[in-house]
Chain A
Amino acid sequence: MSSLDAYEEDMGRFRDLSEADTDRLMAGQIPLEDGDEFKELAVGLAALKAVDSKGTDQILERHLNKIAEASRVVARKPAPEAKAPRGATTGWRRALRITRSLVAKLGVAGAALALSTAGLAVAGVDLPGTTAEDTFEKVGIELPNQNGDETHGKSAAERVHAAQDAATEKGCEFGQAVSAAASENNNGKSTKEKDPCKDRDEEEAVDATDDGNGKAGEDHGKAGLDHGKAGEKGQGGTKGKAGGDHGQAGDDHGKAGEDHGKPDDEEETG
């Protein structure tokens, strides 16, 4: 029988050995089954364990001094904090973390919006609407380069309606006010450079003085005749005076036609 055959035969024997007997053998005890076959091995292992494990009594003192000293040093140190595993995070903590993150993001976004708004205002941009302005005013900040009048921020339609409501009389000035409201620029200044009503009155007065053929002059003439005033002062003079009065009354635009004869009445009264 070759050496390899003997080894295979031994392997077969150990394969047949139960777990319990293997444990006994490894503890240096003779297996219960086929004990004689493994006795030599069991006794040898027990001897090795007994012999090699001896001798600690002689070195105990030497080692124990170092161990005790090291353990006192370690005991004085605070124990390292165990970190909770990532998966152990509870649901409410996760929700709280998400909420905090969201609040922080919203805060940053709000601050950025406020800063950009203020930046635009400083840069001279007139911001639309009154919301932003009101918000800044609430916290005591006045945005620069913004219109200060009441109508600022209102739409053109709103301004026109406001002008219509404010007017008690309809006429040239009413039209002027509506026109000014509609064409009002962002700075609240009217684009009107000259007063068309005044110009028109002046032109009419000149026309009346020159030839008396203007409509206003005719009306005045008629009014003068009706009220019997023209007879004394002469047609042209009456017309001229009436035209002048009419021009003055024309400041009330439109109304002038209706109250055309009023100045004459006053004159007559006076």
Chain B
Amino acid sequence: MSFGEAFEPILNAARLGEEWAWEQLYRGVAPSVLGYLRSRGVDDSEDLLGETFLQVVRDLPTFTGDERDFRAWLFTIAHHRSLDAVRRSDRRPSTPVDSLTLELAGPIGDAEEDAIQAARAAEIRLALNGVSEDQRNVLLLRLFGELTIDEIGGLLRKRPGAVKALQRRGLARLRKELSRKGVTP
């Protein structure tokens, strides 16, 4: 979700502690951050989402930039939080979210369609276990964060060329994993 020209007034109001502004920001970016944390297999990803936003609140006085910068900054915080959480749990971030959790997670429209979508998501999540940590980071930041190659390079401290290579190899590996498991759309 993009705020466009409304972003700056919303951010200024958020700096002043206006609750409505924080609600706007939360509704706009929290879903993608939550998706990033979940797809990384972080335990208690919802709590981690709350901690991420609390850090954004604390550090907002030091932030300068536009909406894209804000998004990159937010995902940088979320990424580092997830690394800490994974380290704490001492487990590989590969646990798939079961279908029950997915059903409880959001509103259900067409039950059949939702079931198919959940199955596809689960397969992709499993396929992500076959890619390297760096490749997964790049793919998920591109997918959920909608960050550019340069932004991801800054976040992961890698050169843009290296990020592109990780993306290409990650996609190739993912595609191969999907075809090997025989998942068909």
Range, interface on chain B: 35 or more
- Dominant SS at the B interface? helix
- In the complex formed, the residue of A with least CB distance to B148 is A23
CA A72 – CA B16 in complex, angstroms?
Answer: 7
- The interface bits of chain B over 164-176 (1 if a CB of A lies within 8 angstroms of the residue's CB, else 0) are 0001110111111
Among A40, A54, A64, A75, contact of B15 (Cβ-Cβ < 8 Å): A75
Contacts of B39 in A (CB 8 A): 48, 52
Among B57, B97, B142, contact of A67 (Cβ-Cβ < 8 Å): B57
Chain B's nearest CB lies how many Å from the CB of A33? Answer: 15
Contacts of A57 in B (CB 8 A): 106-107
Chain B's nearest CB lies how many Å from the CB of A172? Answer: 97
CA A80 – CA B49 in complex, angstroms?
Answer: 26
Contact, CB under 8 Å: B143 / A28 = yes
Contact, CB under 8 Å: A51 / B61 = no
CA A71 – CA B53 in complex, angstroms?
Answer: 10
> Told that A44-B121, A49-B35 touch, could you supply 10 new A-B pairs with CB distance under 8 A?
A7-B172, A14-B168, A38-B175, A40-B179, A44-B123, A45-B124, A45-B143, A55-B46, A59-B46, A75-B16
Interface on B for A, CB 8 Å cutoff?
Answer: 14-19, 22-23, 26-27, 30-32, 34-36, 38-39, 46, 49-50, 53-54, 57-58, 60-62, 97, 102, 104-107, 117-118, 120-121, 123-125, 127, 139, 142-144, 146, 167-169, 171-176, 178-179, 183-185
The 3 A-B pairs of least Cβ separation, nearest first, read A54-B106, A75-B17, A55-B105
